[in-house]
């Protein structure tokens, strides 16, 4: 029973991915054993990242006001979701949120702007913000700003930007079903422009948008071909008002199989369990840390997520360790060790049921 999974793990250590047919079986096979599969994915994860978990904090710097029609996004022109639209936050707000992210243990601070792509003037302003964040805090900075050309990427690279995020989201074959205002290849060219200028590309996918398993596998191999070192795996959040809604495929086991397959195809990449992990993985959330070595805390662009303390407790209870940053490590060293022992979900309140507790 365990031998096929052991062979997958051994091949991943040699940077040899499963075949397309093997990946499809991992996603859809009735005879796949989840725990051996997760252990197979853990072997290369541990080789390259140990038991550390990188933590990312998102700052939704500009919300809504987007001319694109991406059907999964509550900020697009095609969505009627009840969101508040606002232009770019002030420099003081952005820097204050960077400070909070550093103290919360973020490995990386991610600034996200809605829109098709920034003007050169906006790009220069963002470059200045990148410099100021990196001067003040020992954390990396990632930007997600839509489509970019080489001229824009060079300005950001010169400012010291560590990563540029631009998700492929789905396969080229399925792309027209989720967006019509730009193409899959437009996204690939943005990643290539970033890489050419010396910025690490960050790119992943969204699962649960009506795609087939072969679309998920195609994205995994496209990212491998692009040598993307940071891969966020999102699970569609069904936001009311968005044209693309959950397709009903995302049981917890399905989500874990996708993460494991992504790790085996991209054994050296930072695989991030991203949006939707709380709602789709539910009680199996900690198992995502076997294939994934990275996650977000405190929510996503327009949706809520688990709080920092709840997420860190999950990480530590599962036997992993927050990667953090020097600023966070110094703060933790000054604080008392967290209490261990019995806990109930929802806080540290009374253990006795209220109807039996003496007044």
d(CA 18, CA 12): 8
Specify whether the CB–CB gap between 132 and 161 falls below 8 A: no
- Give the model's pLDDT for residue 340: 64
State the DSSP H helix or E strand holding residue 307, giving kind and residue range, or none if neither.
Answer: none
d(CA 109, CA 217): 29
pTM: 0.94
Q: What would the DSSP string read from start to end of 339-358? A: P-S--BTTBS--SS-TTTS-
Catalytic residue annotation:
66, 70, 73, 110, 142, 202, 272
Give the helix ranges, DSSP H, for the chain. Answer: 3-13, 20-28, 34-49, 91-103, 120-136, 150-158, 184-196, 213-225, 252-265, 277-281, 308-317, 326-334
Q: In tens digits, what is the pLDDT along the chain, a chain of 359 residues?
A: 789 999 999 999 999 999 999 999 999 999 999 999 999 999 999 999 999 999 999 999 999 889 999 999 999 999 999 989 999 999 999 999 999 999 999 999 999 999 999 999 999 999 999 999 999 999 999 999 999 999 999 999 999 999 999 999 999 999 999 999 999 999 999 999 999 999 999 999 999 999 999 999 999 999 999 999 999 999 999 999 999 998 999 999 999 999 999 999 999 999 999 999 999 999 999 999 999 999 999 888 888 888 888 899 999 999 999 998 988 888 887 775 555 677 777 666 677 777 787 87
What totals of helices (H) and strands (E) does the chain contain, helices first? 12, 10
CA 271-227-180 angle, to 5 degrees, is 85
Count of C-beta atoms within a 10 Å radius of residue 212: 15
């Amino acid at each position: 029973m365990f031998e096929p999974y052991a062979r997958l793990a051994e091949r991943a250590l040699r940077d040899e991915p499963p075949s397309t047919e093997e990946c499809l079986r991992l996603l859809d096979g009735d005879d796949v054993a989840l725990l051996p599969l997760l252990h197979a994915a853990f072997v290369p994860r541990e080789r390259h990242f140990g038991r550390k978990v990188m933590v990312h904090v998102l700052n939704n710097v500009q919300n809504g006001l987007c001319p694109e029609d991406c059907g999964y996004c509550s900020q697009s022109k095609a969505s009627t979701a009840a969101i508040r639209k606002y232009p770019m936050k002030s420099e003081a707000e952005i820097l204050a949120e960077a400070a909070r992210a550093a103290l919360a243990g973020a490995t990386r601070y991610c600034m996200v702007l809605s829109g098709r792509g920034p003007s050169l003037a906006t790009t220069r302003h963002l470059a200045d913000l990148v410099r100021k964040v990196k001067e003040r805090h020992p954390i990396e900075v990632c930007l997600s700003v839509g489509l970019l050309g080489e001229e824009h990427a060079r300005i950001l690279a010169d400012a010291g930007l560590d990563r540029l995020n631009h998700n492929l989201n789905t396969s080229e074959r399925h792309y027209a079903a989720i967006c019509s205002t730009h193409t899959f290849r437009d996204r690939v060219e943005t990643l290539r422009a970033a890489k050419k200028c010396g910025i690490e590309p960050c790119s992943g996918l969204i699962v649960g948008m009506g795609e087939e398993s072969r679309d998920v596998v195609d994205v995994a191999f496209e990212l491998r071909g692009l040598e993307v070192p940071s891969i966020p795996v999102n699970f569609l959040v069904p936001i009311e008002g968005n044209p693309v809604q959950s397709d009903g495929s995302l049981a917890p086991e399905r989500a874990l199989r996708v993460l494991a397959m992504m790790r085996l195809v991209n054994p050296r990449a930072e695989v991030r369990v991203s949006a939707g992990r709380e709602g789709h993985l539910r009680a199996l959330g900690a198992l995502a840390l076997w294939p994934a070595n990275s996650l977000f805390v405190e929510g996503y662009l327009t949706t809520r997520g688990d709080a920092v303390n709840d997420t860190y407790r999950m990480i530590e209870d599962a036997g992993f360790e927050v990667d953090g940053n020097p600023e966070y490590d110094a703060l933790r060293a000054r604080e008392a060790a967290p209490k261990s022992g019995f806990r109930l979900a929802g806080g540290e309140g009374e253990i006795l049921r209220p109807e039996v507790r003496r007044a």
